[in-house]
Each structure stands twice: as structure tokens, then as C-alpha cells.
Amino acid sequence: MNAVFPVQTIPESETIFSFMRKNTNYGRACGAVRMRLRDTSKIELELVDVDLEKLKQSVIDIVAEYGFSGWRHKGGESKTYGGFSLTFNPNHQDNLDPHVSSIGTPKNLRSEFFWNATDAHEILKHSYFDSYGFRMRTPASRSGYLGEFIDSFTRPLVRSRVGIIPGENVDPDDPTYQEKEGWHRDEPVFENLRINIPLQTDENFLFQMEGEEPYHLEVGKAYTWDTNKPHRVFARGRTSTMRIHLVLGFSPWFDYDAASDTWAANGYFGKVHPFDMVAEGILSRHLRLPRRRLV
């Protein structure tokens, strides 16, 4: 697969990835790979040679410098979810500050962040939903120990953020929040391989996949899922804890070249499943799948 895709030549009616999908044998490639993992509903990963306390403090220092931004939507900013961006699109159509650029979009309602919920966008290129448009790292993502940690990953970082829930802002008596808060879908794993790393949390904070009981994500582990399935994070009650997670998204099958501002399919395309890229240490030497989970 030798096709090279200059960002500037992608039509405005397409996201970068949708154009590459149409102009490669992406669909056939997805069907050709088979996972070695038996259970992919929740993959728990071990963190290896990571100073979690130092990583958490690095993020807290960045919040102190750049601030917390509530999730942008048509009605304003959320008080119960936000954070700061780790990647940005220099051509973003919303003209947001780089450190806010992946924290929602003022074009959509809070309920319209399901993957491909693009009705409010006349132009898809360089929109919030153009994941591969978020191809530049923010200054915050290069700061301190957080920057060193992100540098250790081998695949290009695409739309990513530090996700924060201020527990003190949660209303435990609001049934709308408890039942509906945060439900969304993200891109298929072949497009965006997401790694979720808890840095600060407590038992009030839960993750839930559609059709499954919610559960708590623990500090000391990293997680990945098929996040194209509906899912959410929420707090079941008010708490003084500020939940801080890294929400890292990677391009598994396409490489980005900043000098030429181009994307191109790589040697893993159609050959290695993204989850196996994690299991085999291709994505990062800091992530390890427990051996009992391999077949």
C-alpha cells in the first residue's frame, strides 16, 4: 500500500480518514486481520516502568498553567466534564485555542457527540470529527514528564486529551445526569486506537459500555476497548476528587509526515490488528497485556 495523502488535497466534503478509507482497500484489510485476544470487551493493561505519581503531578502542573476547559457544545461549556487537548488541528474550522480544540465543538448539542454525528457540519474537513486533522501536538502535550511519556509511543497521536471530571460539580440528585450523561461513540479501533490511563480517581467514578454494568477504572492500569460501541464515563455521586485520565488516540495503520503534511498507509495495514499492536509492545514499551490474556 504505497498511497500518500497530502492533507491539503483532501476534499472539504470528507474527513481525512474517510477519504483515505475510500481510496485504499481499508474495508478488506479490516476483515483480513484476526485478533489473538479472546475477550475484547475490556482489555486491562499493565503499566511498565511508569512513575504514575510523577505523571499525575505533571498533568496537575499543566492544568495549573493552561487551565481546565469545559466540554464545548452549542449550549456553552460543561461543568461536569472537560480537560485540555493533547493534539490540535492548525486548520480547525472552529478557530479554538489549541488546548481546547479537541474538547468538543460549539456546533453540536451535548447529545450529538456520537461518532459521525456530523449533521451540524456543512464542511467535514478540519471539523471536530476529522480525527486525523488533529495531527499536531499541543505545547501541553510536550511538557514535563507527560511529554516524555507521550514521546515513548511509536504511533502518531491523533485526537487526544486529558479528560477531567470535577467531582464537586456533579449533582447526585439529577436523574438526567445519572441516566444520560456522556453517552457517545468513537471511531472504530482500526481508525483510532484509544488508550485510557487513570491518574486520579475514586470509587464514585464509573465507566459503562452499552448493555453492561458500569465499573470503576483503577489507577495503576491502562485500558482499551472497542469504543465504537456506545459508552460513557460519569460520577454516581458528588465527590471532592477531580478525576483525571489520559485519553490517548493513535493511528495504528497510517503514518503522518509533518514535513510534507501527508498521511500514508504503513506496514501494519491489514496485517496486525490494533489490539495486537498493544499486546505485542508495538504501540509502547510501557504497556503490557498480562500473559494469561494471550492465546
d(Cα 127, Cα 143) in Å, to the nearest integer? 26
Q: How confident is the model at residue 172 (pLDDT cuts 50, 70, 90)?
A: confident
Assess contact for 141 and 157: CB atoms under 8 A: yes
Average pLDDT over residues 143-171: 96
Assess contact for 221 and 45: CB atoms under 8 A: yes
- 4-293 classified as CATH 2.60.120.330: yes
> Does the pLDDT value for residue 4 go beyond 50?
yes
Average pLDDT over residues 191-213: 95
Q: Can you give the pLDDT at residue 150? A: 98
Residue 115's CB is within 10 A of a number of other CB atoms, namely: 17
Candidate ranges 97-101, 209-213, 236-240; pick with highest mean pLDDT: 97-101
d(Cα 293, Cα 295) in Å, to the nearest integer? 7
161-165, 185-189, 290-294: range with lowest mean pLDDT:
290-294
> Does the pLDDT value for residue 295 go beyond 50?
no
Q: Can you give the pLDDT at residue 177? A: 77
Q: Can you give the pLDDT at residue 127? A: 94
> Does the pLDDT value for residue 85 go beyond 90?
yes
Strand order in the sheet with 254-257: 4-6, 262-265, 254-257
- Who contacts 267 (Cβ-Cβ below 8 Å, separation ≥6)? none
49-53, 179-183, 243-247: range with lowest mean pLDDT:
179-183
Q: Can you give the pLDDT at residue 293? A: 47
pLDDT tens string 240-259: 999 999 999 999 999 999 99
Q: Which pTM was predicted?
A: 0.93
Q: Can you give the pLDDT at residue 3? A: 85
Q: How far out from the chain centre does Cα 204 lie?
A: 22
Q: How confident is the model at residue 227 (pLDDT cuts 50, 70, 90)?
A: confident
Averaged confidence pLDDT in the chain:
91
Pairing of strands 242-250, 193-200: antiparallel
Q: Can you give the pLDDT at residue 2? A: 65
d(Cα 196, Cα 249) in Å, to the nearest integer? 9
> Does the pLDDT value for residue 18 go beyond 80?
yes
Average pLDDT over residues 9-16: 96
pLDDT tens string 254-293: 999 999 999 999 999 999 999 999 988 999 999 987 765 4
